[in-house]
C-alpha cells in the first residue's frame, strides 16, 4: 500500500450528526439547496416548495450524504434576512426531508433558526459565522447536532471589498482552532465538529488557492475539513466561465480539495461529483 501523505493522516474517523454517524474513510458529499431569491448560483430556482423537495430527493438519490439547506444568501454584497422570513423558507423543507430520513444541514447564523432546525430533526448546523452570534454555541450544545464552523473575513456585504491577510493559512487555522475550542468548552463533542476555510468569504483568488493547497494544514488539527468551491467566483476567474458553465471547474476543484485533505465537499452538482469521487476512490483503492 502506498503511504498516505502526511497531511491526510489525522481526521477523526467519524463525524457524528444527530442520528447519523458518518464514516470518514471516504469523502462525503454535501448537496446544496438554496431557498433564497438571490443566491449567486441557484437563487430563485427552489423557492417553490415541491420543486425544492424534488431537488433534495434527487440529490439524495444521486449519492449526497447530506443536504445543506440555506435560507439566507451569503453571496458577496447580499443583505441580511429577517428571522421569520428565514424560518418560513427553511423549516418546512427541513421538517419534511428530515422525516424522510435524509441527513439535513441547515446553513444559518441565527440561534433561533438553529434551535428550530434541531427540533425538526436537522443533523447539522452549518454556520458561515462559526457560531459567533450570541447564543449560537448554546443552541448547538446539549443536543447531538453536528456543527460546521466556517471562516469568513468581515460580513457578506463587505467581505470581497479588499480581503487582506498577513498569512491567510495561519489566520484561518488559528480562527478555526479557537472556534473549535470554544465549542468543545461548551460541551460539543469533538466528533461533532467540522471545519471549513470558507472559500470566497473575504478571500481573493490567490487566498483561495493557497488555502486549497493547505487543506492538509487544517485537517492536521484533527477535525474533518469541509470544502465549498462549487461554482464560486474563483473558478470563474480561472476559467472565464459564467456561473452556469462552471460544473467542470467545480468537479476539478472538488477533486483537488479531496486530494489535499478535505473530508466533505459542498457542491451543487451531486451526481457528477459522486462519479468523479468514485473514479478517484477506485484508483486509490487499487493502490
Ligand atoms: C459555503 C457555505 C461554504 C460552508 C456558502 C454557496 C455560497 N457553507 N455556504 N462552506 N458557501 N460551510 O452556496 O456557494 O463554502 S453560500
Regarding the beta carbon of 250 and ligand 1, being less than 6 Å apart is answered no
- The upper half-sphere exposure of residue 255, i.e. CA atoms within 13 Å in the direction of its Cβ, equals 18
pLDDT at position 4 over 70: no
Of residues 37 and 64, the one with the higher pLDDT is 64
Catalytic residue IDs: 232, 266
* Sequence-ordered strand ranges (E) for the chain: 14-17, 20-23, 28-34, 66-70, 104-107, 124-127, 146-150, 193-196, 226-227, 264-267
As a whole number, the mean pLDDT across the chain is: 93
Give the residue whose CA is nearest to atom 1 of ligand 1.
228
Instruction: Give residue 1's pLDDT.
Output: 46
pTM: 0.93
Measured from the Cα of 128, ligand 1's closest atom is: 8
pLDDT at position 8 over 90: no
For 216-231, b/e burial (b = at least 16 CB within 10 A) is bbbbbeebbbbbbbbb
Instruction: Give residue 221's pLDDT.
Output: 97
Of residues 287 and 92, the one with the higher pLDDT is 92
Regarding the beta carbon of 226 and ligand 1, being less than 6 Å apart is answered yes
Instruction: Give residue 11's pLDDT.
Output: 46
Of residues 5 and 133, the one with the higher pLDDT is 133
Regarding the beta carbon of 74 and ligand 1, being less than 6 Å apart is answered yes
Distance 25 CA to ligand 1 centre (A): 23
End-to-end CA, the chain: 6
Give the residue whose CA is nearest to atom 2 of ligand 1.
128
Q: What is the mean pLDDT of residues 184-194?
A: 98
Instruction: Give residue 79's pLDDT.
Output: 82
Q: What is the mean pLDDT of residues 198-202?
A: 97
Amino acid at each position: 500500500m502506498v503511504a498516505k501523505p502526511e497531511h491526510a493522516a489525522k481526521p477523526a474517523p467519524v463525524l457524528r450528526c444527530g442520528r447519523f454517524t458518518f464514516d470518514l474513510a471516504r469523502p462525503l458529499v454535501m448537496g446544496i439547496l438554496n431557498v433564497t431569491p438571490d443566491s449567486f448560483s441557484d437563487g430563485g430556482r427552489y423557492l417553490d416548495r415541491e420543486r425544492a423537495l424534488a431537488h433534495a430527493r434527487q440529490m439524495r438519490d444521486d449519492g449526497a450524504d447530506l443536504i445543506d439547506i440555506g435560507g439566507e444568501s451569503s453571496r458577496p454584497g447580499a443583505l441580511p434576512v429577517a428571522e421569520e422570513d428565514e424560518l418560513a423558507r427553511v423549516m418546512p423543507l427541513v421538517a419534511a426531508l428530515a422525516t424522510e430520513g435524509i441527513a439535513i444541514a441547515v446553513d444559518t447564523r441565527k440561534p433561533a433558526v438553529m434551535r428550530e432546525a434541531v427540533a425538526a430533526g436537522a443533523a447539522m448546523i452549518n454556520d458561515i459565522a462559526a457560531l459567533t452570534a450570541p447564543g449560537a454555541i448554546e443552541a448547538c450544545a446539549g443536543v447531538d447536532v453536528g456543527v460546521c464552523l466556517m471562516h469568513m473575513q468581515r460580513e457578506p456585504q463587505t467581505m470581497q471589498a479588499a480581503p487582506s491577510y498577513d498569512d491567510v493559512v495561519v489566520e484561518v487555522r488559528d480562527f478555526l482552532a479557537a472556534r473549535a475550542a470554544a465549542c468543545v468548552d461548551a460541551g460539543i463533542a469533538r466528533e461533532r465538529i467540522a471545519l471549513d476555510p470558507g472559500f470566497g468569504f473575504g478571500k481573493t483568488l490567490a487566498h483561495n488557492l493557497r488555502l486549497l493547497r493547505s487543506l492538509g494544514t487544517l485537517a492536521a488539527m484533527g477535525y474533518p475539513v469541509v470544502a465549498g468551491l462549487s461554482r464560486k467566483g474563483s473558478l470563474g476567474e480561472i476559467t472565464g466561465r459564467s456561473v452556469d458553465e462552471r460544473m467542470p471547474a467545480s468537479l476539478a476543484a472538488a477533486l483537488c480539495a479531496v486530494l489535499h485533505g478535505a473530508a466533505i465537499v459542498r457542491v451543487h452538482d451531486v451526481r457528477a461529483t459522486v462519479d468523479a469521487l468514485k473514479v478517484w476512490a477506485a484508483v486509490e483503492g487499487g493502490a
